[in-house]
Amino acid sequence: MTNRIAVVTGATGGLGTSMCKALAAQGRTIVASHLPDEKSTADAVAWQQDMKNDGIDVAIYPLDVTNYENCEAFVARVEQEHGPVDILVNNAGITNDAPLKKMQAEQWNQVISVNLTSMFNMCKHVFEGMCERGFGRIVNISSLNGEKGQFGQSNYAATKAGIYGFTKSIALEGARKGVTANSVSPGYIDTPMVRKVPEKVLDNILAGIPVGRLGQPEDIARAVAFLTADDAGFMTGTNLSVNGGQFMS
């Protein structure tokens, strides 16, 4: 398989780590991003070493996905040090929950910037080059709650639903240029964040998942690897729901 440069944003969490491992198994050169603050930098160094201990060399750079100029500089650095970006996985995302009557404008704007505007910021700086070279794979990570909505997450659900419209639109723009764009919508995945949910709440979540278990990060990584494969050129503008049957659309 051709050695291609794959960028994964928000890479150091459970999902991002599995995505990087799956892409590395495909022979990709992995470039990851982390938040540009002191703690995140320290965590990124430890994460990079853990990946190296697993036999995976990953370059990782600071990136503020909400900042257009920072994303431009990040892509330029990747291209200078590694080569043109062939694969982009927009995985960076946050939550900042509250019912609408209590949600503040700052909460809304923060989640919109990190989860939705970031996709424009990153895709803008790689899309044209992908089209010129005749190959590109873009995967945007959405969510079960973008498909069905969720109490107290009007900001988060709006961003994750917005991903579908953005993805389908750029899929049309890149279709004849060899550039595909798709999304993946994870359900409840067995990550440290989900495991912090109170036991009674977690039991209710499990009761609503037909397969009877939480998903594993590898379940999402397999979907990403599938969509970014060299021979996945006929699949574009679609969404893969990986949620154990919890929501079927």
Q: Which of 179, 140, 181, 137 has the alpha carbon at shortest distance from 162?
A: 140
* Residues identified as active-site: 156
CA distance 10 to 102: 28
C-beta of residue 203 within 8 angstroms of C-beta of residue 185: no
Helix axes 154-174, 118-133, angle to 10 degrees: 10
Q: Residue by residue, what is the 3-state secondary structure of 130-185?
A: HHHHCCEEEEEECCHHHHHCCCCCHHHHHHHHHHHHHHHHHHHHHHHHCEEEEEEE
CA distance to 4, 86, 129, 209, 225, per residue, from 229 (Å): 10, 11, 18, 29, 6
> pLDDT at position 197, please?
81
The one-digit pLDDT tens for each residue of the chain (249 residues) are 568 999 999 999 999 999 999 999 999 999 999 999 989 999 999 999 999 999 999 999 999 999 999 999 999 999 999 999 999 999 999 999 999 999 999 999 999 999 999 999 999 999 999 999 999 999 999 999 999 999 999 999 999 999 999 999 999 999 999 999 999 999 999 988 788 888 898 999 999 999 999 999 999 999 999 999 999 999 999 999 999 999 998
- Residue 68 to residue 118: CA distance in whole angstroms: 8
What pLDDT shows up at residue 41?
94
- CA distance linking residue 208 with residue 197, whole number of Å: 15
Question: What pLDDT, on a 0 to 100 scale, did the predictor assign at position 201?
Answer: 87
Q: Give the domain 5-187+220-238 fold.
A: Rossmann fold (3.40.50)
Alpha-helix runs per DSSP H in the chain: 14-25, 38-53, 68-81, 105-112, 118-133, 144-148, 154-174, 192-195, 199-207, 217-228
Q: What is the largest CA-CA distance in the chain?
A: 52
Report the pLDDT value the prediction gives residue 198, as an integer from 0 to 100. 85
pTM for this prediction: 0.96
Bridge partners, 91 (sequence order):
none
C-alpha distances (whole Å) from 125 to each of 164, 183, 220 are: 20, 19, 25
Q: Record the tokens describing residue 48, joined without a space.
A: 């990079």
Distance, C-alpha 242 to centroid of its chain: 14
Burial class, 102, CB count within 10 angstroms (exposed 0-12 / middle 13-18 / buried 19+): exposed
Q: Are 122 and 163 in contact (CB under 8 A)?
A: no
